[in-house]
Amino acid sequence: MIGYNKLSYVDLHTGKVELKDVDEELAYGFIGGRGWAAYILFKELDNIIDGLHPSNVLVVATGPLTAVPFQSGGKTTFAAISPQTGIYGDSNVGGFFGYRMRRAGIDALVIKGASPQPVYLLVANGKVEICDAEKLWGLNSQETDAKLVREYGNCSVASIGIAGERLVKFACINVDWSRKGMRHGQAGRTGMGAVMGSKKLKAIVVMGDKDVKIADEERLKEAAIKLQRMVEGSAGYEAWRRYGTLATLEWSNKVECLPTYNFQKTVFEYAENIGGDAMQKVKVFTRACSNCIIPCEHVVRFKLEEEGEIGVEYETAAMLGSNIGLRSFEEVAKANYLCDYYGLDTISTGSVLAFIMECYQRGLVTEKELGLAPKWGDIEAVCKMINMIAKREGFGDLMAEGVKALAERIGKGSEAFAMHVKGLEISAYDHRAATAMALSYATCDIGAHHNRSWAIIYDLEVGRDKYTEDKVKKVIYLQHIRPLFDMLGVCRIYWEEFGIDPNIYAEAYSAVTGKEFTLDDLLFRSERVWNLTRAIAIIRKGISIKDDLLPERDFSDPVVGRYTSGAKLDRDKFIEMLKIYYTLRGWDELGRPTPEKLMKLGLEEAARKLYGGD
């Protein structure tokens, strides 16, 4: 099939490895990446017990625009039933991993079972082997990456650290840490590192030099040239090259949505110390992903007790900066480095630390219980808690379960400021004065995450305090187009930041596969995937309107800011907005896709599972 390679099914328990062709339903019905992950996990759903059970299935999937001559095609999706939420979870990462996996002739890995001893996978030019990893177990990701690169040379490595081995619920997967010329990234969200740890899978090594077959190379070349001209001619191109995502920090502080002190405030008095300009003072070099003309990873050096280098993104600078009160970029970089060292999602880690700090601030936990006094802005306490979480030592064993479990254990009203939705910690945008962003978080299919629908820009355009149908329509559109990029295997930044006409992605997909697709055709398939992940959530956990709500803080605690001071969400208006969302999606009043909607989307099996019948 032109434009696609092979699937590899790996059973770590039996050691069986099987290669399969990609069929038309999977290719053209679900495109790739996140779409394939949702389809495969739905097919396996009856056999999966929970996120950390050997029955869980880890899907590692590239997209059809990965590793072809088209800018930004270097993305990979890691997906499974999440140990954090119990529902569908995924995380998308750039770098060179997906590029090399596609060039090895493998589009996706479907990993089942658990090995009795530590192993890693070697994916090389059409073959997949299970290899002994006994000597790698117990190492951090950087050490693991370096050892495997020394052994295999020109390769990419996805690996877990100690946090993944010890099944920290928000453990991440590091990709390509040990090379200066290759972007270091993480599949950070939803605990995919813990899934690898539960399977005793320490790493995946990919290497290959095969070209992906393309149906119309000239047509793809024309699309790529057009895309590059649009990007380089855009107003934000040079600023993005200079600051990357960190330009967002000063912006978030200015528009008063920067999470500060566990979302108690929206303005941080030391924001200028942890933003893009501060980064420039300690930056040592930049790195880009494969197939990308924008080196958006800005690597900085820190010197706090020991010296190190790490790339810092906006979400990390906010959640491990303002949200826990760290006042210097070097402190943020050190906390970031420790999270990567152990393999921890920086967003969830920052939320857990902030929650504990607020509990301590309010007298709900004591220094004796915790083993330290976690005060805002105390880098020593931050580093100690990160160590405790990764190693599950002392109170860190409970912190390793995430904010939801912490609040349930501590109680005493702490649930009101446990900043999560469906068990996934909220990422770095306060939304009490941004109703579309609030709806985005409440309805996100994996739990509260900004990457599905970054609607706060629309809030600023049309009025932050409005609860209108146009906002609902905007959120739904974003929930279709933004995940589409994860299906195609490309970065959404070109479209998001540079105003690229998204029709060019349909043009590129048609050129690669030889099948004519419009943007609407692709968006229809993205909507199909959105409804499928919703069905998985309902089947797994009975998710409904009761779960599509936000923390009590959003409704009860007014913003402490400047011009947004006093803002909070109106519960009745928000629920009405949520009901409009359900109606426009073709879901019932409980938030279930109706049988008619599922049938229209070609999800007959999902309809049978939800509603019975033949």
Who wins on pLDDT, 499 or 584? 584
Q: If we measure between CA atoms, which residue out of 157, 159, 167 comes closest to residue 197?
A: 167
Q: What is the per-residue pLDDT across 204-219, written as a single tens digit (0 to 9) for each? A: 999 999 999 999 999 9
Quote the number of domains for the chain.
3
The last residue of one of the domains, among 374, 402, 425, is 425
pLDDT at 614: 63
Burial of 230 (0-12, 13-18, 19+ CB in 10 A): middle
Query: What angle (nearest 5°) sits at the alpha carbon of residue 530, between those of residues 525 and 536?
Result: 125
Stated length of the chain: 614
Mean pLDDT of the chain: 96
pLDDT at 180: 76
Q: What is the per-residue pLDDT across 468-517, written as a single tens digit (0 to 9) for each? A: 999 999 999 999 999 999 999 999 999 988 989 999 999 999 999 999 99
366 contact partners, CB below 8 Å, separation of at least 6? 360
Residue 199 lies in a domain: yes
> Are residues 42 and 187 part of one domain?
yes
Dist CA 249 CA 449 (whole Å): 17
Burial of 117 (0-12, 13-18, 19+ CB in 10 A): exposed
> Are residues 150 and 22 part of one domain?
yes
8 A C-beta contact, residue 168 and residue 389: yes
Q: What number of helices (H) and strands (E) belong to the chain?
A: 27, 17
Mean pLDDT of 531-545: 98
SS3 content of the chain, % helix, strand, coil (to 5): 45, 15, 40
Give the residue numbers spanning the domain of 375: 238-425
Q: What is the per-residue pLDDT across 38-97, written as a single tens digit (0 to 9) for each? A: 999 999 999 999 999 999 999 999 999 999 999 999 999 999 999 999 999 999 999 999
> Does pLDDT of 613 surpass 90?
no
Q: What are phi and psi of 6, to 5 degrees?
A: -125, 160
Q: What are phi and psi of 102, to 5 degrees?
A: -65, -40
Dist CA 249 CA 274 (whole Å): 8
Q: Tell me which H or E stretch contains 534.
A: helix 519-541
Q: If we measure between CA atoms, which residue out of 445, 443, 422, 414 comes closest to residue 431?
A: 443
Q: What is the per-residue pLDDT across 371-412, written as a single tens digit (0 to 9) for each? A: 999 999 999 999 999 999 999 999 999 999 999 999 999 999
> Are residues 390 and 348 part of one domain?
yes
- Lowest average pLDDT, out of 225-229, 304-308, 579-583, goes to 304-308
Mean pLDDT of 457-468: 97
8 A C-beta contact, residue 57 and residue 39: no
Helices (H), 270-415: 276-282, 314-317, 329-342, 346-361, 367-370, 379-391, 396-399, 403-410
pLDDT at 37: 98
> Are residues 463 and 400 part of one domain?
no
Residue 232 lies in a domain: no
- Lowest average pLDDT, out of 189-203, 246-260, 304-318, goes to 304-318
The last residue of one of the domains, among 190, 207, 224, is 207
> Are residues 439 and 323 part of one domain?
no
Structure tokens at 73: 């095609």
pLDDT at 181: 72
8 A C-beta contact, residue 402 and residue 429: no
DSSP 208-255: --PPPP-S-HHHHHHHHHHHHHHHHTSTTHHHHHHHGGGHHHHHHHHT
pLDDT at 184: 86
Q: What is the per-residue pLDDT across 282-310, written as a single tens digit (0 to 9) for each? A: 999 999 899 999 888 999 999 877 788 99
Residue 558 lies in a domain: yes
Residue 568: CATH number of its domain:
1.10.599.10
Residue 61 lies in a domain: yes
Q: What is the per-residue pLDDT across 113-166, written as a single tens digit (0 to 9) for each? A: 999 999 999 999 999 999 999 999 999 999 999 999 999 999 999 999 999 999
> Are residues 376 and 243 part of one domain?
yes
DSSP 127-150: EEEEEE-TTTTT--HHHHHHHHHH
Residue 511 lies in a domain: no
Dist CA 418 CA 262 (whole Å): 9
pLDDT at 177: 86
Residue 504 lies in a domain: no
Mean pLDDT of 537-545: 97
> Does pLDDT of 178 surpass 90?
no
Residue 370: CATH number of its domain:
1.10.569.10
pLDDT at 254: 97
8 A C-beta contact, residue 42 and residue 606: yes
> Are residues 96 and 162 part of one domain?
yes
Mean pLDDT of 533-556: 98
In the block, residue with structure tokens 């007790």: 305
> Are residues 271 and 179 part of one domain?
no
8 A C-beta contact, residue 410 and residue 359: yes
8 A C-beta contact, residue 248 and residue 279: no
> Are residues 413 and 308 part of one domain?
yes
> Are residues 378 and 473 part of one domain?
no
Structure tokens at 546: 């009761």
8 A C-beta contact, residue 143 and residue 137: no
The last residue of one of the domains, among 184, 207, 230, is 207
> Are residues 411 and 450 part of one domain?
no
> How much is the CA Rg of the chain, to the nearest whole Å?
22
Q: If we measure between CA atoms, which residue out of 87, 85, 83 comes closest to residue 166?
A: 83
Dist CA 441 CA 135 (whole Å): 41
Residue 508 lies in a domain: no
Residue 507 lies in a domain: no
For the beta sheet containing 283-287, the strands, ordered from the edge strand earlier in sequence to the opposite edge, are 283-287, 297-304, 306-311
Residue 59: CATH number of its domain:
3.60.9.10
In the block, residue with structure tokens 């990446």: 33
> Are residues 328 and 449 part of one domain?
no
8 A C-beta contact, residue 19 and residue 129: no
